[in-house]
Chain A
Amino acid sequence: MDIQDTKNSGDLEAYVCGALTRQENMAIAKLVRENPELEEEVEAIERAYFKLAAGIAPAADEIAIYESIKGYIREGKAKSEDNHWSQYLGWAAAIVLLFGTSYMFYQNTELNDEMISIVQKNQILNVEVESLDSLNLDYKEALAFIKKPNTLKINLAGQGDHGTANAVVFHNKEQNITYLDITGLPDAPANMTYQLWSLTLNPLTPTNLGIVAVDNKNLIEFTNPNDTEAFGITLEEAGGSPTPTLERLYTLGAIE
């Protein structure tokens, strides 16, 4: 359809009057938008109707009518501002809720993490408590052993170059148990270990009681079924030695 056909069709008049179907209206609106000549024609049609309608209008106080309209508009504006306010409030609440929820989620995650770490810490502490309990039990046992009337206390004095070293042995002949307190011994060098010997003096015969294990205990229990007359501590290669290295005899003490 060319421009003249469109003009003659009556569609443009119908378009201005709003008498077209929605689809037809969209099609004509597009044509008019794209074609200045059609737009001009539409405006001429509109002008004619406009004049006709205006000519029919009764005389009226235009300003008074407008003032009245303005009153409504201002009132409505105030109301709609209220609405805006409440709309914003709604949005604000939504945003607060969103951030709140996010924050709670974050907090919850953090708390969960914290709880996991606390549970882990608790497990570690439980292990520590257990080990302290067992240590405590060991000390209790040692104390009970030491307090026995037939338990002997033997001071082992520092020997030769190791004059400042000392150790204490608690020995109970009936129980065949010996406790060694190594608090007075210097730390063993790397790859070396202290070894405790049971000695009989005539002839001098050393019997291995065991190496002094490196742990947090200062009071170490040994089984000692020997007829011990004296105790000696030597420093040996890690793992211990079948016979004592007398050059590295640190402490020595005889049962009186």
Chain B
Amino acid sequence: MNAQPDLLIARMQEGSEVAFTRIYERYQKALHGVIFAIVKKEDVAQEILQDVFIKIWKNADTYDSNSGRFFTWILNIARNASVDYLRSKRHKNSLKNLSSDNFVDIIVSKSDLDEQTNTMFVKQWVEKLEPMCIKIIDVIFFKGFTFKDGAEELDMPSGTLKTRHRKCLNSLREMMVN
């Protein structure tokens, strides 16, 4: 993945279906991962992924590149849709319990690891991460907590959380480069 595809985004905002297709091709897998990390059910994750892209299409014109990354914008849509699902289904995991398990559990539980090169790499990287980093990335990236809420959840000052979050991601980035 390279720089943000501003032109594609603009074309999609103008109503180009072709541009939307490219956006889908580019981002669907990452959003699928985020949704799956929250709802933890494959069939549900697929349904939500569809809804999320329909929302992206319908609300494309509300995205303003001056106020943030497109990735962040669609990430929020995906998280909100997933959390809404959990709420609406009165899922047995309340929001408070969202962090009781994390994205690593999903990787480990997946049966078709060998077929998923990406997943295999991710598993290797994640296994090398500090346990606290996994928690931090899970809460801040996947579950979309603010630093304030995340700090409460992980019981550490929010300033500390912010710098540790950076260190954890740097470790991940180093592993990815190698």
Contacts and interface: CB of A to CB of B under 8 A. Distances in A.
Interface string B1-35: 11110000000000001001100110011111110
Interface string A26-41: 1001000100000100
Nearest to B15: A77
Interface stretch (B81-89, B91-99, B136-144): B136-144
Interface string A143-176: 0000000000000000000000000000000000
A33 B147 CA distance: 23
Interface residues of B, number: 66
Interface string B118-134: 11011101000000000
A29 B66 contact: yes
Interface residues of A, number: 47
A18 B53 contact: no
Given A19-B147, A73-B20, A76-B54, A56 B163 contact: no
Q: Is the interface of A mostly helix, strand, loop or mixed?
A: helix
Given A55-B118, A58-B45, A44 B173 contact: yes
Nearest to A60: B46
A99 interface: no
Contacts of A43: 2-4
Contact of A69 (B3, B50, B69, B165): B50
B36 A55 contact: no
Interface stretch (A8-16, A121-129, A202-210): A8-16
Interface string A47-67: 111111111111110100110
A91 interface: no
Interface of B: 1-4, 17, 20-21, 24-25, 28-34, 36-37, 42, 45-46, 49-50, 53-54, 57-58, 66-69, 71-72, 75-76, 103, 106-107, 110, 112, 115-116, 118-119, 121-123, 125, 137, 140-142, 144-147, 150, 162-166, 169, 172-173, 176
24 contacts: A9-B166, A13-B140, A15-B68, A17-B144, A19-B146, A43-B3, A43-B4, A45-B173, A46-B1, A46-B69, A48-B169, A50-B30, A52-B122, A53-B31, A55-B33, A57-B118, A59-B115, A59-B116, A60-B49, A62-B28, A62-B29, A68-B50, A69-B53, A69-B57
